A and B are shown apart, each in its own frame.
Chain A
Amino acid sequence: EDQVTQSPEALRLQEGESSSLNCSYTVSGLRGLFWYRQDPGKGPEFLFTLYSAGEEKEKERLKATLTKKESFLHITAPKPEDSATYLCAVQAGTGNQFYFGTGTSLTVIP
């Protein structure tokens, strides 16, 4: 069965304290791994897509990496405005469906 697991469930960081969020997956025929940011009361907002192991993408303080079993979202010197829930999703098989993890709730304290 296709599965996506995110850890930790919640993370509190001091402003400027770098860390990483993990997304591990077990799927057949990965087509893409996606990272989203979700603010309270809002819909998920697309951040990155990774298609193959070894690929990396960067955007401001965020960097996403991918291996054959997991992906990391590295947050460098976070700011309070980075506080949100970060969701990971994988697209596999025929590609018609996406499987989401339960997310990591990040709080950055000033």
Chain B
Amino acid sequence: NAGVTQTPKFRVLKTGQSMTLLCAQDMNHEYMYWYRQDPGMGLRLIHYSVGEGTTAKGEVPDGYNVSRLKKQNFLLGLESAAPSQTSVYFCASRTATRQGSNTGELFFGEGSRLTVL
């Protein structure tokens, strides 16, 4: 059982280049999330999805796009990378309900470290 898998783990881009980060989960979770983690800032939500075919903006969505064409996959795209997008990106997923309520712990991937020069 792999859990949440992120690819690639490391990437270096030049300003203006584009790329896609892939997140795959094998737990049949409905909810998926993309966060970025920067020193002193904590984890900040970029975009999330409450189910296949849905996406929604989080705290810091500018410069990013996402797609959830399949339930198990959540893609994060950078159309034109900027140095401010240098960060560690984490994908997470969770089940829709626990104890009959919309709650439940997040399961995280190992992270993708992106450097934009």
| Closest chain B residue to A43, Cβ basis | B108
* Complex alpha-carbon distance, A36 and B101, angstroms: 21
User: Is A44 a contact partner of B108 (Cβ separation < 8 A)?
Assistant: yes
Q: How many residues of chain B have a CB within 8 Å of chain A?
A: 28
In the bound complex, residues from chain B placing their C-beta under 8 Å from that of A46 are 105-107
Please tell me if B102 contacts chain A, counting CB pairs below 8 Å. Answer: yes
User: Is A34 a contact partner of B101 (Cβ separation < 8 A)?
Assistant: no
| Closest chain A residue to B99, Cβ basis | A51
User: Is B45 a contact partner of A98 (Cβ separation < 8 A)?
Assistant: yes
In angstroms, how far is the closest chain B Cβ from the Cβ of A93? Answer: 10
In the bound complex, residues from chain A placing their C-beta under 8 Å from that of B44 are 100
User: Is B45 a contact partner of A97 (Cβ separation < 8 A)?
Assistant: yes
User: Is B102 a contact partner of A49 (Cβ separation < 8 A)?
Assistant: no
The contact of A43 among B41, B50, B102, B109, by CB within 8 Å, is B109
In the bound complex, residues from chain A placing their C-beta under 8 Å from that of B56 are 96
User: Is B41 a contact partner of A34 (Cβ separation < 8 A)?
Assistant: no
Please tell me if A66 contacts chain B, counting CB pairs below 8 Å. Answer: no
Chain B, residues 93-117, CB within 8 Å of chain A (1/0): the string is 0000001011111111111000000
User: Is A34 a contact partner of B58 (Cβ separation < 8 A)?
Assistant: no
Please tell me if B31 contacts chain A, counting CB pairs below 8 Å. Answer: yes
* Complex alpha-carbon distance, A9 and B38, angstroms: 15
Please tell me if A78 contacts chain B, counting CB pairs below 8 Å. Answer: no
In the bound complex, residues from chain A placing their C-beta under 8 Å from that of B45 are 97-98
In A1-47, the 8 Å CB interface with B consists of 31-32, 34, 36, 41-46
Known: A97-B45, A98-B45. A34 touches B31 (CB 8 A): no
User: Is B90 a contact partner of A31 (Cβ separation < 8 A)?
Assistant: no
Please tell me if A95 contacts chain B, counting CB pairs below 8 Å. Answer: yes
* Complex alpha-carbon distance, A32 and B97, angstroms: 12
A-B contact pairs, 7 of them (CB 8 A): A42-B110, A42-B111, A43-B109, A44-B43, A49-B105, A97-B58, A100-B44
